[in-house]
A and B are shown apart, each in its own frame.
Chain A
Amino acid sequence: MAAVVFKAEDVTKTYVTGDVAVHALRGVDLELFEGELAVMLGPSGSGKSTLLNILGGIDTATSGSARFKDLDLTGQDERTLTFYRRNHVGFVFQFYNLIPSLTALENVALVTEIARDPMSPAEALELVALSDRANHFPAQLSGGEQQRVAIARAIAKRPEVLLCDEPTGALDSKTGVLVLDALMSVNRELSTTTAIITHNAETRKIAHRVFYFHDGRIARCETNETRLEPREIVW
């Protein structure tokens, strides 16, 4: 049995805006194992992003506990969370979030420069098959290419976990396949624990396990006996 990477226990998150309180998470329990690829599904507003942000150390839980290995993510100061993100977490976002004034290669370098044991930016681009676009600015890249740069940027530091919030959300199916391929091969080759949020239910078929969110809770969890390759799933 693989080691536990993430362990969340009764995590809640309440946003208070004015006099309205939004319960984004109402008590989530979850374990993710080393090398595992998890897909998270659920209706809009069910709390997927919120949980991922808490696991990634860019948000904090209101109550409950969330651990990354031995590190308690709840109640940590900004500095500890920054170093946690810097050294352990790779993020991929729906809107790529590349720095427009930096080339593909430089966008990756942005992360390798501060990481502990990174691969070279060129190597990371190689992994997402974008070596020939290294010196293009984001504006000169298609959406799918931009997202692959974002993945290269996320994996370049050899993170232990890769957190992807709707990485294919802004892409067409063909490009989406390329992106998922990239994620799966990273998961396989570097055995990076990977969590992918998606609205495409078919994507669940590439996962080891699938978590279904509903109204701030994980309603159920499925384990796939057999997994499909991204190009085999129907969009």
Chain B
Amino acid sequence: MKVTFKDVTLSYDGKKDTLKHLNFQIPDGTLVSLLGPSGGGKTTTLNLISGLLPATSGHIYFGDEDVTKKDALARKVGMVFQNYSLYPHLTVRDNIAFPLKMQKVKKAERYKRAEELAKLVHVDDQLDKKPGGLSGGQQQRVAIARALAKSPSLLLLDEPLSNLDARLRIEMRQEIRRIQQETGVTTIFVTHDQDEALHISDNIMVLAQGTIQQFSTPTVLYERPANLFVAKFIGEPVINTLPADALKADLVSSVPASILAQAKTAGIRSEAIVPFDNGQEMVAKIHAGLKQARKYGREATANLAYNGETLLSTEMAGLPASQTDGDFFLTKAGFFLFDEKGALIFGGDAHDE
């Protein structure tokens, strides 16, 4: 089901706006991540969608229906909480069947459905256990099955993986993606982990300080960040940033003077600094000192000293170990200039539609 926010604002205390004039549309059948730093308003946004919180102003639509005034009971969305919130006194079977029991579905029928869902999330061998006897990953799966039990047209997950260890997190995010694709349910997934969001989503909404920083596909987010915040938040390792002034002399031939005049900050992805002209479109050739070169398997990284700044590159394979300085190239892909307000003014063109 399509979800639309029209100028939605939320204030907890009537003074400060926690969410400011949100406008967005989540297309039917997609998996969208809400990504942002802690305190950015992700949970608040999710609670507005679920109906646990009423909007202070603005309108929320499910499909074409205005649900702004409806509460959580009436909106009928499925939700998975950060700490799973399973009912400790019920077995896995009864936990999954609980939403159906609330709908007065007959026992045989709801148990049949619970068993189907348990199969879908791979906990069908745990049906008679209580949640206390399950591992974190299993509880997570049960929580997802329970949220899917009433066949919601919308599934909300609030940082569902943050309590799991690293390996399980990767496994579970693939599971969530699989389940979403098998059921086709429109899913909104909250996370503060950019890697998780990049791997799982059709679209990512970056939320910080109560406003949408950017809402687009993972590729666009990475290759054409709308502002400095997004550029820094997305990508591992973190993008190199330096004052544009430090770089201007090397950019005059490739960047129009009018843009250069406004540029405040330059952002260079670590894979955009290469030691050889490899035929890609380049924006600059820079001379830099080479320090701390390291090799990890196939990857070779190095810190470059340039005009008093340090730049990290991950493309340093093939350089002789003895080299102490040299000329390096900056590829156009992965090179950005931002103005005083942090807005993107140069770079990311390859993905202009």
Q: Do A and B bind each other?
A: no
Contacts from B to A (Cβ < 8 Å)? none
